[in-house]
Amino acid sequence: LIDPGVKAYQPVKGRPNVIMFVGLQGSGKTTTCTKLAYHYLKKNWKACLVCADTFRAGAYDQIKQNATKARIPFYGSYTESDPVVIAQDGVDTFKKEGYEIIIVDTSGRHKQEESLFEEMLQVSNAVQPDNIIFVMDATIGQACEAQARAFKERVNVGSIIITKLDGHAKGGGALSAVAATQSPCIFIGTGEHIEDLEPFKTKPFISKLLGMGDLEGLIDKVNELNLDDNEELLEKIKHGKFTLRDMYEQFQNIMKMGPFSQILQMIPGFSQDFMSK
């Protein structure tokens, strides 16, 4: 169910890759746009953001604030009310400037309104995206399938990102959403911070879903700390020396891995149900 057997879209270096985000309002779509742009920015891609969400008050301000913090170029308008015009102008501008990852954020709604789908279709036809990502809130449970199917019937959803997996939601609805769209899940959102976006891996996801932890993910987080480079500390430990300063630095390393509750959930036996007790 969770693996539709379809290869996820892979951006190509040296040319513009237009990625369009769709989803319901409140799913974390705008925040996830910035997270994905930052993900590619860290990997030395020229990434940027286009805010074509003219429905929600403050959407452009949110992207502007997040993008400025992360030093990601962005495009939007306080005066233009037509999202199709903004999307087209933004994509054309960044293409001329040689950007490789152009992420377009579109308007969401509180429910599946016809106006949302019509606008979404118009934006898609205007910018001709290489990949359309459906952002899905993990907390809505079994409603995922109906929503995912409704979006898939109107636009060519190519990938799925599941958000809000840092709470009590386990993301079981993601199984039915992937089955409904026949599109692969590519990332999961695990928090509010800009770095809280993890590549989706089938086995660890199922393992955590069943409360069996995620040792593979835990090892990846430890490897990201580059602890092997700290030869000075290793020498100190060999000779039985470990100061308060060393202990402080190691606690700082642990904090870089994310919230302690998330780390514990990766250990078999420490499920979310166990943690809440």
Q: How many independent structural domains does the chain possess?
A: 2
Three-state DSSP class for residue 208:
helix
Whether residue 261 is found in the same domain as residue 128: no
pLDDT tens string, the chain, 277 residues long: the values are 556 667 888 999 999 999 999 988 888 899 999 999 999 999 999 999 999 998 888 889 999 999 999 999 999 999 998 999 999 999 999 999 999 999 999 998 766 678 788 888 999 999 999 999 999 888 877 777 788 888 888 888 899 898 887 755 566 666 777 777 788 889 988 888 898 888 887 776 666 666 666 666 666 766 766 665 567 777 777 778 878 887 887 777 777 666 666 676 667 666 555 555 5
- Give the residue from 58, 14, 51, 10 showing the smallest Cα distance to 33: 51
For residue 220, being part of any structural domain is answered with yes
The rounded distance, in Å, linking the Cα atoms of 244 and 141 is: 46
- Same domain for 191 and 221: no
Judge whether 202 and 2 are in contact, CB under 8 Å. yes
Tens digit of pLDDT for each residue in 158-174?
Answer: 998 988 877 555 666 66
Of 170, 200, 230, the position where a domain reaches its end is 200
| Whether residues 36 and 157 fall in one domain | yes
34 shares its domain with 147: yes
Would 34 be classed as within a structural domain? yes
- Domain containing residue 234: 215-276
Q: Is residue 74 part of a domain?
A: yes
206 is a domain residue? no
Same domain, 196 and 220: no
Q: Kindly give the pairing relationship between strand 197-199 and strand 185-189.
A: antiparallel
CATH of the domain at 167: 3.40.50.300
Say if residue 181 is in the same domain as residue 258.
Answer: no
User: Is 140 a domain residue?
Assistant: yes
Q: Identify whether residues 223 and 184 lie together within a single domain.
A: no
Residue 273 CB partners (closer than 8 Å, separation 6+): 211
Rounded to whole angstroms, the Cα distance separating 225 from 245 reads 18
Measured distance CA(128)–CA(118) in Å, rounded: 15
Q: Does any domain span residue 10?
A: no
According to the model, what pLDDT value does residue 229 have? 59
pLDDT value of residue 58: 87
User: Which token pair is 54?
Assistant: 């003219």
Residues 105 and 153 reside in one and the same domain = yes
- Does 45 share its domain with 174? yes
Note whether 127 and 223 are same-domain residues. no
49 and 95 together in one domain: yes
Number of Cβ within 10 Å of residue 123's Cβ equals 27
Helix axes 144-154, 173-181, angle to 10 degrees: 20
Q: Considering 146, 171, 200, which residue would you say is the last residue of a domain?
A: 200
pLDDT of residue 26: 85
Residues 258, 154 share a domain: no
The answer as to whether 11 is a domain residue is no
